[in-house]
């Protein structure tokens, strides 16, 4: 290596003149360095830096602290980044699980993560050691710009998260969940009536069932949206003004077709309400290095974009929250009461001081609950339609049970759940067979840990891959097949789970980060699925000339945060036929009218 001059001797400046002199000496030394270093010298230094970094990265997981965690071969520097940056990364991860076992490591550029691929290891780490595995990895764009740390889903495991989670538990525990059954009942009846009248537009009906009940007359609650209902006083004009204002920022299908009952001009207005899933934020900076946050905004357009998303989202949440609060004329609530009239927003507003929540924190909590199920519930129902078309013999079994227990004179009710064992098993099997969030949500360790000889350092991102977990052959026989019977005890005839889950699946997550509304979600899916099965036959069109196996292979699924069959609505591959058109229509209209709804206006 060519001669490199030593740096100038440092002097402790006693005056501004000495300080200027030292700066000049340093500049001269830098010039000499620049002239002295050759290209080969620079390459050598870069190589040393890279090798040192790679050595540190490798030692982090197995330098005398345990067995090396296996890792798929990757590229220098970027590691496995490009191998998982594909439309369905959970499928590639499932292949690696078969090759490397239920725990392996991926290098994603400068960061790293550990993938869990079996229910056993996911439960043993994320649930049985939840005190160490309940935080979230840092996401510069989503957490710090788009939501300013206010979005519960992405909060680290800290005091604010614990206080908000405790409040949610109060509002969504099983006793409280039963309060929402009348609203879930009316919406499931309305959904079936919509399907009867317009069977070729089922995706719009699923979205209406999830969305419009938050704003229609009467405004109700969404099953997975944790009852963040905005009562009937809320003006739909406000909603549509906000949608039009936010249109440049919200482009996806999430919050679809919020239709004004007095106007058809808005039926195609859409907005992406869940900024944490927005494709723009994911494409821009899910991988942003923390150092980029220090760049000035003028050369960081993603900062401006994130700030705009936050401002727009907070404005919408605030407007809705304020209007609900004003119209309700909030009164002190009996929080032990499970009355369905106790609005979710009203409860948050009345309890926010007790849980030490600021106005923005309370508003974002209510808004996040509104957005929490905007895609997932509709995705689950759409996937159920797909599963029914692909498995006609399972549908026949469920309908035989419905006809035996319910008959044809009324709809299934929540009180029938204990007698509709096969239908309950279909709900469980659907959430296992085609889980709505196949990639899961990442956890992060807050302490060093060791598992079966593997060292897992503090700050490690942990991904429980739901896709491979639900296809685990040690837990589920023939996991690729849709078999509701796997969740029915052959001796007692009652519903059963697995060794690792009471419900038989892990669609709601793990440990302290499990979906707080799982009781509400299960009830909602049960009443919706059973009423669809009671009302309709769902079949592959005979003109398609496809077997069920060919049909399953022909339907692609979306690749976003949540997953559902793509273009099942437009492809014309299925048909939804009423089992008994006259009695079905009569029963559905009576059910909707008895709940105080106008079946024509809301459909």
Question: What is the C-alpha to C-alpha distance for residues 446 and 468, in angstroms, rounded to an integer?
Answer: 25
Question: What is the C-alpha to C-alpha distance for residues 64 and 80, in angstroms, rounded to an integer?
Answer: 24
Of 224, 181, 235, 190, residue with least CA distance to 208? 190
Residue the block writes with tokens 């206080």: 163
Of 335, 244, 241, 316, residue with least CA distance to 275? 316
Write out the two tokens for 66.
């345990």
Of 249, 363, 255, residue with least CA distance to 309? 249
- Region class of 372: left (phi > 0), else alpha (psi between -120 and 50), else beta: alpha
Is 515 assigned to a binding site? yes
* C-alpha pair distances (Å), 469 with each of 123, 264, 437, 557, 560: 11, 44, 12, 18, 19
The distance in angstroms from the start CA to the end CA of the chain is: 79
Longest C-alpha distance within the chain, in Å?
Answer: 97
Q: Are strands 449-451 and 454-456 parallel, antiparallel or unpaired?
A: antiparallel
255 in Cβ contact with 273 (< 8 Å)? yes
Question: What is the C-alpha to C-alpha distance for residues 187 and 108, in angstroms, rounded to an integer?
Answer: 44
Does residue 396 have a cis peptide bond before it, meaning omega lies within 30 degrees of 0? no
Question: What is the C-alpha to C-alpha distance for residues 385 and 22, in angstroms, rounded to an integer?
Answer: 75
Strand extents, DSSP E, 337-473: 443-444, 449-451, 454-456, 461-464
Residue the block writes with tokens 């023939």: 478
Write out the two tokens for 401.
């049970």
Question: What is the C-alpha to C-alpha distance for residues 570 and 567, in angstroms, rounded to an integer?
Answer: 5
Question: What is the C-alpha to C-alpha distance for residues 147 and 336, in angstroms, rounded to an integer?
Answer: 32
Could you give the 3-state DSSP secondary structure of residue 462? strand
Question: What is the C-alpha to C-alpha distance for residues 468 and 100, in angstroms, rounded to an integer?
Answer: 13
Question: What is the C-alpha to C-alpha distance for residues 523 and 223, in angstroms, rounded to an integer?
Answer: 8
Q: Name every residue whose Cβ is closer than 8 Å to that of residue 488 and which is 6 or more positions away in sequence.
A: 421, 422, 425, 494, 495, 496
Annotated binding site: 515
Extract the annotated binding site for heme. 515
């Amino acid at each position: 290596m060519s001669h490199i001059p030593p740096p100038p001797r440092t002097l402790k400046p006693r005056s501004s003149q000495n300080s200027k002199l030292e700066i000049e000496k340093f500049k001269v030394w830098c010039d000499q360095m620049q002239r002295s270093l050759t290209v080969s010298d620079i390459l050598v230094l870069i190589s040393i830096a890279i090798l040192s970094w790679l050595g540190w990265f490798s030692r982090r997981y197995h330098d005398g602290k345990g067995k090396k965690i296996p890792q798929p071969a990757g590229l220098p520097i970027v590691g496995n980044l490009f191998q998982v940056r594909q439309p369905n990364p959970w499928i590639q991860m499932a292949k690696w699980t078969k090759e490397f076992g239920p725990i392996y490591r991926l290098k994603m550029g400068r960061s790293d993560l550990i993938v869990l691929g079996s229910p056993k290891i996911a439960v043993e780490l994320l649930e049985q050691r939840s005190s160490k595995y309940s935080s979230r990895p840092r996401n510069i764009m989503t957490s710090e710009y788009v939501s300013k740390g206010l979005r519960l889903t992405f909060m680290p495991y800290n005091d604010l998260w614990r206080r908000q989670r405790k409040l949610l538990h109060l509002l969504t525990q099983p006793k409280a969940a039963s309060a929402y059954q009348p609203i879930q009942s009316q919406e499931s009846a309305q959904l079936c009536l919509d399907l009867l009248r317009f069977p070729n537009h089922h995706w719009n009906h699923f979205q209406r069932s999830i969305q419009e009940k938050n704003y229609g007359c009467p405004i109700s609650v969404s099953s997975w949206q944790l009852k963040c209902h905005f009562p009937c006083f809320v003006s739909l004009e406000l909603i549509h003004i906000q949608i039009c204002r936010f249109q440049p920022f919200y482009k996806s299908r999430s919050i679809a077709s919020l239709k004004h009952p007095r106007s058809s001009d808005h039926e195609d207005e859409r907005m992406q309400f869940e900024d944490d899933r927005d494709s723009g934020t994911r494409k821009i900076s899910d991988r942003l290095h923390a150092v980029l946050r220090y760049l000035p905004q003028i050369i960081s357009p993603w900062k401006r974009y994130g700030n705009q998303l936050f401002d727009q989202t907070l404005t919408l949440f605030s407007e809705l929250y304020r209007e609900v609060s004003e119209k309700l004329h909030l009164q002190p609530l009996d929080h032990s009461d499970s009355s369905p009239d106790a609005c979710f927003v009203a409860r948050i507003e009345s309890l926010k001081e007790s849980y030490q929540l600021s106005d923005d924190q309370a508003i974002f909590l209510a808004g996040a609950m509104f957005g929490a199920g905007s895609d997932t519930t509709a995705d689950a129902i759409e996937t159920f339609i797909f599963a029914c078309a692909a498995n006609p013999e399972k549908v026949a079994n469920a309908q035989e049970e419905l006809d035996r227990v319910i008959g044809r004179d009324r709809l299934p009710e929540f009180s029938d759940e204990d007698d509709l064992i096969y239908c309950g098993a279909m709900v469980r099997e659907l959430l296992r067979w085609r889980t709505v969030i196949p990639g899961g949500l990442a956890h992060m360790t807050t302490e060093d840990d060791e598992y079966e000889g593997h060292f897992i350092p503090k700050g490690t991102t942990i991904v429980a891959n739901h896709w491979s977990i639900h296809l685990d052959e040690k837990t589920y026989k023939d996991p690729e097949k849709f078999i509701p019977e796997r969740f029915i005890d052959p001796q007692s005839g009652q519903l059963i789970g697995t060794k690792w889950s009471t419900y038989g699946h892990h669609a709601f997550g793990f440990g302290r980060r499990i979906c707080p509304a799982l009781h509400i979600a299960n009830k909602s899916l049960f009443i919706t699925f059973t009423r669809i099965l009671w009302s309709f036959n769902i079949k592959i069109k005979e003109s398609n000339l496809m077997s069920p196996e060919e049909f399953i292979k022909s339907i692609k699924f979306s690749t976003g945060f949540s997953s559902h069959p793509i273009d099942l609505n437009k492809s014309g591959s299925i048909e939804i036929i009423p089992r008994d058109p006259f009695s079905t229509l009569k029963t559905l209209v009576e059910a909707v009218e008895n709940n105080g709804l106008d079946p024509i206006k809301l459909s």
